[in-house]
């Protein structure tokens, strides 16, 4: 089976977690980029990656790197690739692209040239050509072209892997599934101990925690991937990989996952989403204010993702909520590692706790921080700062901004 470079894309901030996932699966890491990690393998390996990766978006199998100055050269180069080996002549093809070339004003023109080269080549070799259009649920080819340098990939994922398929009832401001998985991994949850998720919204963090804790491959939830629409799709191997993944998954968690929200509608949506993901019996849901969340035992990981508002009025209203979160953590959550995911540094300050670590992420293009607060149990003294006192102890309340960019 031919090996090639495989680029796995992801949002900025996530590559360190994606890289670790690849290392854990014994894949080499060829390079780490701002929004992706490169490895190598065969198309069969690409299937395995689609099945198991939690933080990657698209698994792109490199077909060819090339030099092209303009659209005619692009067409000629792409026409020279043996597409008839990969794309069924009676199939359906979608081209996605990332183009920055001085001769191209509209990247759709480059995609069109790419599509023409592929379908013309297939028509010449097979006497028939695939249909084409914008839907990404069948064969997908990705074109990258920056200045004179280009690369074409088979997108073996098709629809991005962030669309796990369990979020049938999304609410406002849900977190992308892949981002939620990265947040759970950053928090260090591995299924042992408790995972507490007040303000659970549509349940994404709790559901991803359950999938991680149970070692359940997220790809088991999906029935359609781009690689299934390529010639030579090894269906037997795919079924074997799925079966192996199913058998490896745990049946029970040693710790507890607790998810709560003040909105009954959110809790109902979370329960339904968890049921679709097949993890509802591993999560205890209830409707309550975050501060009444039942804590199982006196240690574990707590992750909260409160709204962070966009307009001034909204942000002002949320100040009291963030202050309340800080009070709750200090008074009720000693012994827990608490994590706050927010896109507002201003609101994060209202928590008045000094983060031990900070991870940078991006949620729908907004720069966000995951702040970790270590809440020691017992006698560790909390020193109240005087108005001008900025020299602070490890966990003393602080009214200073969260440190910049401390991601792993």
199: left (phi over 0), alpha (psi -120 to 50) or beta: left
Q: Which residue is nearest to ligand SAM, using beta carbons?
A: 201
370 near ligand SAM, rule: CB under 6 A: no
- Using CA of residue 183, residue 189, residue 191, residue 197, what is the dihedral sign? negative
Find the part of the chain contacting ligand SAM (CB under 6 A) among 7-15, 135-143, 216-224, 258-266.
Answer: 258-266
Cα Rg of the chain (Å, integer): 24
Task: By CB under 6 A, name the one of 86, 144, 238, 290 that touches ligand SAM.
Answer: 290
Q: Which is nearer to ligand SAM, 4 or 260 (CB)?
A: 260
Q: Among 132, 58, 124, 121, which Cα is nearest to 92's?
A: 132
75 near ligand SAM, rule: CB under 6 A: no
- What angle is formed at CA 284 by the lines to CA 278 and CA 290, rounded to 5 degrees? 125
Which residues, in sequence order, are CB contacts of 401 under 8 Å at separation 6+?
345, 348, 349
Site size toward ligand SAM, by CB under 6 A: 20
289 near ligand SAM, rule: CB under 6 A: yes
Q: Write the DSSP string, 5-36.
A: EEEEE--TT-HHHHHHHHHHTT----EEETTE
Find the part of the chain contacting ligand SAM (CB under 6 A) among 24-32, 62-70, 301-309, 393-401.
Answer: 301-309
Task: By CB under 6 A, name the one of 201, 218, 219, 309 that touches ligand SAM.
Answer: 201
162 near ligand SAM, rule: CB under 6 A: no
Find the part of the chain contacting ligand SAM (CB under 6 A) among 124-132, 193-201, 219-227, 394-402.
Answer: 193-201
Q: Among 46, 115, 117, 110, which Cα is nearest to 81's?
A: 117
Residue count (the chain): 408
Which residues, in sequence order, are CB contacts of 31 under 8 Å at separation 6+?
37, 38
Which residues, in sequence order, are CB contacts of 203 under 8 Å at separation 6+?
259, 266, 269, 270, 271, 273, 274, 283, 285
Find the part of the chain contacting ligand SAM (CB under 6 A) among 1-9, 78-86, 93-101, 304-312.
Answer: 304-312
Least distance to ligand SAM from the beta carbon of 172, Å?
7
Q: Are 119 and 130 in contact (CB under 8 A)?
A: yes
Task: By CB under 6 A, name the one of 38, 208, 261, 372 that touches ligand SAM.
Answer: 261
Least distance to ligand SAM from the beta carbon of 201, Å?
3
Q: Which is nearer to ligand SAM, 239 or 331 (CB)?
A: 331
In Å, what is the CA distance from 41 to each residue of 2, 14, 60? 8, 21, 11
Q: Per-residue x/- marks for ligand SAM, 317-346, CB under 6 A?
A: ----x-------------------------
Retrieve residue 89's tokens. Answer: 């002549």
Least distance to ligand SAM from the beta carbon of 214, Å?
19
Q: Which is nearer to ligand SAM, 4 or 202 (CB)?
A: 202
59 near ligand SAM, rule: CB under 6 A: no
199 near ligand SAM, rule: CB under 6 A: yes
Q: Which is nearer to ligand SAM, 199 or 220 (CB)?
A: 199
309 near ligand SAM, rule: CB under 6 A: no
Q: Which is nearer to ligand SAM, 45 or 208 (CB)?
A: 208
155 near ligand SAM, rule: CB under 6 A: no
Bridge-partner residues for 70, per DSSP? none
Cα separation of the two ends of the chain: 35
Q: Among 51, 65, 64, 60, which Cα is nearest to 21's?
A: 51
Q: Which is nearer to ligand SAM, 7 or 183 (CB)?
A: 183
Instruction: Output DSSP code: residue 134.
Output: S
**Site residues, ligand SAM (CB under 6 A):** 171, 173-175, 198-199, 201-202, 204-205, 261-263, 266, 289-290, 305-307, 321
């Amino acid at each position: 089976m031919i090996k090639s470079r495989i680029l796995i894309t992801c949002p900025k901030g996530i590559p360190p977690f994606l890289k670790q996932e690849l290392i854990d699966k014994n894949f080499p890491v060829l390079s780490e980029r701002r929004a992706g990690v490169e490895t190598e393998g065969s198309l069969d390996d690409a299937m395995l990656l689609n099945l198991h990766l939690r933080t990657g978006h698209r698994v792109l199998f490199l077909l060819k790197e090339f030099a092209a100055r303009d659209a005619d050269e692009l067409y000629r180069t792409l026409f020279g690739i043996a597409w008839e080996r990969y794309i069924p002549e009676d199939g359906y093809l979608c081209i996605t692209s990332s183009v920055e070339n001085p001769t191209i004003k509209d990247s759709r023109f480059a995609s069109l040239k790419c599509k023409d080269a592929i379908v013309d080549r297939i028509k010449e070799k097979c006497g028939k050509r695939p249909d084409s259009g914008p839907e990404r649920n069948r064969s997908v080819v990705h074109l990258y072209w920056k200045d004179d340098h280009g690369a074409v990939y088979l997108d073996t994922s098709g629809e991005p892997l962030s669309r796990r398929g369990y979020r049938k009832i999304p609410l406002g401001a849900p977190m992308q599934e892949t981002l939620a998985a990265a947040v759970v991994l950053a928090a260090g949850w591995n299924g042992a101990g408790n995972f507490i998720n007040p303000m659970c919204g549509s349940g994404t963090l709790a559901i991803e925690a359950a999938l991680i804790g149970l070692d359940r491959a997220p790809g088991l939830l999906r029935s359609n991937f781009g690689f299934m629409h390529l010639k030579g799709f090894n269906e037997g191997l795919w079924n074997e990989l799925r079966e192996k993944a199913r058998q490896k998954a745990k049946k029970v968690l040693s710790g507890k996952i607790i998810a709560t929200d003040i909105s009954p509608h959110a809790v109902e949506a979370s329960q339904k989403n968890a049921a679709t993901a097949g993890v509802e019996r591993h999560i205890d849901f209830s409707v309550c204010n975050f501060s009444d969340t039942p804590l199982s035992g006196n240690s574990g990981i707590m992750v909260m993702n409160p709204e962070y508002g966009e307009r001034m009025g909204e942000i002002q209203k949320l100040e009291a909520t963030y202050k309340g979160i800080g009070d709750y953590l200090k008074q009720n959550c000693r012994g827990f590692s608490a994590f706050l995911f927010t896109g507002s540094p201003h609101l994060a300050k209202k928590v008045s706790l000094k983060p031990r670590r900070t991870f940078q992420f991006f949620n729908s293009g907004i720069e966000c921080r995951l702040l970790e607060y270590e809440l020691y149990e017992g006698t560790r003294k909390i020193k109240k700062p005087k108005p001008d006192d900025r020299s602070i102890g490890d966990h003393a309340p602080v009214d200073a901004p969260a440190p910049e960019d401390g991601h792993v």
